[in-house]
Amino acid sequence: MIDDIETLVRCESPSKDHEAVARSAEAVAKIGHRLLGVEPERIVTDGCTHLRWQFGEPRVLLLGHHDTVWPLGSLETHPFEVRDGVLRGPGCFDMKAGVVMALHAAAALADRDGVSILITGDEEIGSPLSRTLIEEEAKSCAAVFVLEASADGGALKTRRKGVSLYRIEIEGRAAHAGLEPEKGVNAGIEVAHQILAVAALADPAKGTTVVPTALSAGTTTNTVPAKASVAVDARVWDAAEQVRVDRAIRNLKPVTENARIHIVGGINRPPLDAKASAELFALANELGGPLTEAAVGGASDGNFTAGLGIPTLDGLGAVGGGAHADDEHVLVAELDRRTALLKALTETVLNHRSSSAPTNAPGESGAAQR
């Protein structure tokens, strides 16, 4: 497993570099072919490569991604290494170790009938090119096991916030800043008003965060800005809050006379509610406990499947820490145990097919949330 993780970590795969993602997909495919004895289906959506292994009608989906947030060249400053039981390297924790664990767990099954393995290539940028594929693959499943890395201390992720992503674009009018600024419409001032407005939508008591992030305005130091924009990251625990924030952002009005506002983006992932994970977490505790659980602000592709009403358990991947950070690492001693747990969970669900139908029919609970 360590050798396979090394292979994937050394094949860098930043999400927006489709050529790099395609090379990574081939590295994953080669490992999967060796372990499973069959080639995956290569699915390319708008240039982004995803991989799928299907063994009969899908009843259990092992879900992961092989793209990372790390740019090409990161290995030069963050080399792969294993020292004192700790494995390091860009993307090892989030989530190339999880991809390897999924393939090894499936390889250990005596009967893979009913198993589907889907490894996507754009999760780190919100899965814009793989969401439909994920939801289609999950809709007939009794369980989805997400190989994202664990929470602190190895906790499984039984609740995740929903995510909405926006860009607020301001259109003003340029003018010379020294000669006749009064003839301009300052998009920079207007975007400042909108930043304060969206930040006020946060509700700490409910755990709702609405954070203005990347900001730009103007072109030169002596010109009234004609254009400005700000990105907004909103995260919520429940669907009603997600709708409230979405409506409020879409109803923003300009404060500056003659300025115009355009909203791009919207709801990206629905919340992963604890109800979607409860039964599978209890099963995991029976098979490999004692285990802990965590609610986290980050979202994953498990949010999509839970939003459809499919029982979903997340955080089954590597134990370690430092996702997206300089100290990203995996604890080697936990790899075998967590892979064995995934195998046991998959076998148990497959062996109880008649009683393992999804809690809600696909689309019932998800329709409102999406």
Residues in the chain, pLDDT under 70: 353-370
Q: Which of 43, 57, 31 is nearest to 116 (CA)?
A: 57
CA distances from 120 to 69, 245, 248, 282, 299 (A): 14, 29, 32, 28, 15
Whether 136 is a known active-site residue: answer: no
Per-residue pLDDT, 353: 58
């992932």: which residue's tokens?
A: 269
How many CB atoms lie under 10 A from the CB of residue 25?
25
Per-residue pLDDT, 370: 28
Omega prior to 101 cis, within 30 of 0 = no
How many CB atoms lie under 10 A from the CB of residue 358?
22
pTM above 0.85, yes or no: yes
- Single out the catalytic residue among 12, 67, 169, 190: 67
Per-residue pLDDT, 159: 97
> Residue 250: is it exposed, middle or buried by C-beta count within 10 angstroms (0-12/13-18/19+)?
exposed
Whether 67 is a known active-site residue: answer: yes
- Single out the catalytic residue among 4, 6, 94, 123: 123
> Domains in the chain, start-ordered, CATH in brackets?
2-161+271-369 (3.40.630.10), 162-269 (3.30.70.360)
At 29-84, the pLDDT tens digits run 999 999 999 999 999 999 999 999 999 999 999 999 999 999 999 999 999 999 99
Q: Which of 255, 274, 106 is nearest to 188 (CA)?
A: 255
CA distances from 130 to 85, 327, 354 (A): 35, 29, 29
